[in-house]
Structure 1
Amino acid sequence: MGDPWLSIIGMPDDSADALPPASRAALAEAEVIFGGPRHLERASAGTRGRAWPVPFSVEPVLAERGKRVAMLVSGDPFWFGAGGSIVGALDPSEWRSLPAPSTFSLVANALGWRLEEVTCHGLHAAPLAQLRAALRPKGRMICLLRDGDAPAALARFLCEQGAGTAQMHVAERLGGSDARLRAVQADGYDLTDVQAPVAVGVDLPDGIGLPRAPGLPDDSFASDGQITKAPVRALTLSALAPRQGDLLWDIGAGSGSVSVEFCLAGGRAIAFEQHAARVENITRNIADFGLNARMQAAHGRAPEV
């Protein structure tokens, strides 16, 4: 393992006293400690503490290369955590990770849910529409949210998707002495004073979610009528045979419906379209299906663009 200068430490929500010995030793040896204000306070970082910049960046950590540095993150650094944001810029000999139980594990244990049967979502910066493809009858989700206002927004989203009867388990500051767990139905959401860090476990009702087979109904998409109709689209997707991570160039995309379904199957897509109004529809469909990270629209004529 060598002698890495950077220790990425999973931090529980109560205090540094709850850390295992190796994590406490790394904190004690650190010349510089990066973390959120809550973590820095609970680790008694004092003058060694450096708060994360807004917007988030790992550049300040990289600038301290050569010193003993500790990064404090919530739970498991590589489960929707900041660990994955920095190691690509480092040699494996430069860092070590000292994880704690993830927030997903804490929520699942608080609710008695089998974690392997739950879908997990990090939504600190991602749109709630990203959840659309994960909705399924009687399914369960755990969502990490950005702040105390986000659970109310999640409740509104669930209602818009026909899941107003979903049970929401709002988990605040799990792992610490001020942890709180409250349950509320999405269409009756009335919780106030929700404290971050917050995660929500969602028990979904029956009869919701997108079909898993290709060929979504045509009215699922914003369109001016220029759309590959559902039966032809199903055959097209079957022939394209998308695999996880595959990239599709959709030239003359129309509404972008083929690209959307390609991405819902795990791929990525660039939708080329020369008509500005249709590009607007493609952009709307990207947002409605929560595919901003997988799909983009390119306005212009082929092959110039």
Structure 2
Amino acid sequence: MKLLTAGEAVSRFVARGSVVGMGGQNINRCPMALVHEVIRQGVGGLTVVGCNLSLPLDMLVAAGLVVRTEQGTGNLERYGTLFAWRRAVERGEVSVGDHSHLAMASRFAAAALGLPYLPTRSLLGTDLLADMVAEGVAVESVDPFGGKPLVLVRAMAPDVALIHANRADTLGNTVIEGVTSHEVDMVRAAKVTIVSAEQVLPAGAFADRPEQVTIPEAYVTAVVEQPFGAFPTSVYRAYDFAESEIKEYQGLGRAGDEHLRAWISANLGACFEEYLATRDAGGTLRRTLADRMRSLV
């Protein structure tokens, strides 16, 4: 049985100085409950890696817990940049390994396959390549069969991966509906994986429908049951994203780091359920988001 509380899972498996692989993408299925717990426990010195590092990263940076990021991008797209992260980078407090999305996904894929690197051509002719070569995560090479230039990108194996899913069972078999992006390879590459899920079912719940399992139990270390665990981001077939919450956070981000720190201190509470109650007394917003998602799918 791998079922733990968020507090237990983070305390056991997220250590100071860890390389943390971040699931989710932009405003979709981000592991917010797990990230909140990392902030509550003050686990610092983190290197955060992923494709689009969005709201979870900015909150970790605002809390002073991140020293480096390696990512395809860091933003909330139409809602703007990650303001705390950008300011920390500008001040030299957080270093950045800039990648393309495909380069980052390829690094996870290499580690998932047990390989030291994978070849790609997508970086050729870009400014990103020179920086990645200088940082030792890419090497320019030549296809030994065809003689054409290519790039070898170094494998990335996070110490711990954090993801949020639709469902899981207590053994760790995990179901993700909708887009998975880099997550499956990132989980296979990671030394430890913590999955929070909207619903946790008994062991063997997927035995008669194995085709639904996105990530098998062998790759999952701990499972946390947390309804609305991605709030204010969305979960396909469960609930839409909370635009008002995202806009409020971004407004505070524009205003300055002290405003974000005050918001974190006032809102995170003792657990994620308390946070949800603080942000959505009575659950009206959550019901609205769930109804909206049902109308979309």
Instruction: Output the TM-score relative to the length of structure 2.
Output: 0.21
Which has the larger Rg?
1
Instruction: Output the TM-score relative to the length of structure 1.
Output: 0.20
Structure with more helix by fraction: 2
